[in-house]
């Protein structure tokens, strides 16, 4: 099961910190093989790194530098997402970091080209969009979605997916 690396305690966020999630450690990790992954770190953007935002442009949504808007990392993030998807075709689920320009799922603000106005408060990060497109039936959750009921449902859904031919689930 994929998971945003910062949620496992890895200090890979843009600010060099983590977003350790105790619910993941206590309620999910004992039942799954976790695959921590940070698209921004893997894309060579550094740790710490200058922050990026999702920007609506004439060419679609782009990941641009907050302080250096000419810095466009869209291609890097999409390439990393494609490599990840090709490398892990048997993925059974993914827990994503909310509000992230790479990993947020329906929680990431999409800004206007001046980065002054939120055009859509329910955008999805580029990595999350690509994973959802590649695996449309993959169980996905944001860290902010985690509670007892969603965790039980998520574990049930990934168990079902893991039982598909050729996939294995950690017992």
Tell me the per-residue pLDDT of 28-68, one tens digit each, with 9 for 90 and over: 999 999 999 999 999 999 999 999 999 999 999 999 999 99
Tell which residue, 2, 69, 73, 62, has the closest CA to residue 32.
2
Q: pTM, whole model, 2 decimals? A: 0.93
Euclidean distance between CA atoms 148 and 27, whole angstroms: 9
Half-sphere exposure of 77 (CA within 13 A, CB side): 26
With beta carbons less than 8 A apart as the criterion, state whether 128 and 102 touch. Answer: yes
User: Residue 163: its pLDDT value, please?
Assistant: 86
Rg (CA), the chain: 16
φ, ψ (nearest 5 deg) of residue 132:
-65, -40
Task: pLDDT band for 7, please (50, 70, 90 cuts).
Answer: very high
Q: How far is CA 161 from CA 22, 119, 166, in A?
A: 24, 35, 10
């Amino acid at each position: 099961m994929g998971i945003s690396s910062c949620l496992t305690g890895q200090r890979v966020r843009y600010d060099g910190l983590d977003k350790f999630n105790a619910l993941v450690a206590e309620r999910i990790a004992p039942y799954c093989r976790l695959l921590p992954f940070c698209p921004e770190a893997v894309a060579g953007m550094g740790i710490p790194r200058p922050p990026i935002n999702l920007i609506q442009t004439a060419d679609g949504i782009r990941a641009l530098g907050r302080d250096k808007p000419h810095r466009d990392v869209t291609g890097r993030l999409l390439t990393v997402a494609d490599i990840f998807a090709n490398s892990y075709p048997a993925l059974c689920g993914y827990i994503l970091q909310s509000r992230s320009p790479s990993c947020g799922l329906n929680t990431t603000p999409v800004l206007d080209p001046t980065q002054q106005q939120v055009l859509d408060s329910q955008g999805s990060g580029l990595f999350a969009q690509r994973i959802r497109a590649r695996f449309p039936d993959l169980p996905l959750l944001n860290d902010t979605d985690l509670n007892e009921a969603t965790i039980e449902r998520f574990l049930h859904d990934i168990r079902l997916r893991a039982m598909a031919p050729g996939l294995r689930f950690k017992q």
